[in-house]
Amino acid sequence: MGTLRMDANHPEGILMCAAISKTVIPMPIRPVDVQPIWHRLSVGGLPAVIQKKARSFSAGSPIVHEGDAIPAVICVESGWVGLSKSLDDGETQLVDLILPGEFIFALCADRFTSALQVEAITQSLVAAISEAQWKRLVGGTPELEDLQQALSGASRARMAERMLRLGRGSAEVRIAYALLELCIRLRAIRDTADDVFHIPLTQQQLGEFTGLSSVHVCRTLRRLERNGIVDVEDHMDVRLHSVSRLAEIANVDLEHLREQILPDTDAS
């Protein structure tokens, strides 16, 4: 039976294009000081369970392998976690990025094994909750089910938006959308100042997220910089100079996108 695992030997480094950096430097670990959504909602019992079960994973460490047994719910308390699928030749699609305060629901239809590879993008603190324990928590705290539905709906919405652009959008459209989505989500957890934020991804990982090669990612970012829309410096420190122009490129209505990809927790 598969379990959460730690891998302290995974190397961590990035190689950026000439417009950003020419050297390989370890990714800076930036502290994330956010208030998880389950704390804001005063969900009874959950914070204590998470605190008890939380485990730390270093950047690059697998948390759950695709096809392994997986807990019903994984709560990400801090750090960035990636969900991915890979072909036999090693080609990888980063299906989603999970940020602090979000849940991972990755069970296959068999309700036992993981449909995805779950991996720590940065140093992360996560807690695994079994199906039986989750049911007990939901039974004692009905609003927790509302939270689950809100987070699941937000996840489906953002993946649908990305899939549309992966299938029908140019490289510029895909990158523009990815930057907007991450900015909106980071604002929601107060991990960005206005339109300045850090993306702890290599260009290869950003390419896996947007279905592009690292070369295409580099060229697209440079083009957006030349056009005065964004600045990308110092290993993916991003400044959006024109959110409206970026939204036009990505073909999104910002208010509608926020409503779709941020969990509605007002009712809880």
For 234-252, write each residue's pLDDT tens digit. 778 999 999 999 999 999 9
* Sign of the dihedral through C-alpha 193, 101, 246, 201: positive
Confidence tier at 192 by pLDDT (50, 70, 90): low
CA proximity to 59, closest of 206, 201, 232: 201
User: pLDDT tens digits, residue range 89-134?
Assistant: 989 999 999 998 899 989 999 989 999 999 999 999 999 999 999 8
pLDDT of residue 234: 72
Task: Report the C-alpha gap between 219 and 18 in whole angstroms.
Answer: 10
| Residue bearing the bigger pLDDT, 52 or 178 | 178
pLDDT of residue 34: 42
Q: Is the pTM of this model over 0.85?
A: no
User: pLDDT tens digits, residue range 252-261?
Assistant: 999 999 999 9
In this structure, what token pair is assigned to residue 65? 């392998």
Mean pLDDT for the stretch of residues 3-22: 39
Element of type H or E holding 208: helix 203-210
In this structure, what token pair is assigned to residue 248? 């036009």
193 touches 237 (CB < 8 A): no
Mean pLDDT (the chain) is 82
Confidence tier at 17 by pLDDT (50, 70, 90): low
Task: Report the C-alpha gap between 133 and 73 in whole angstroms.
Answer: 10
In this structure, what token pair is assigned to residue 45? 């019992």
In this structure, what token pair is assigned to residue 121? 């993008």
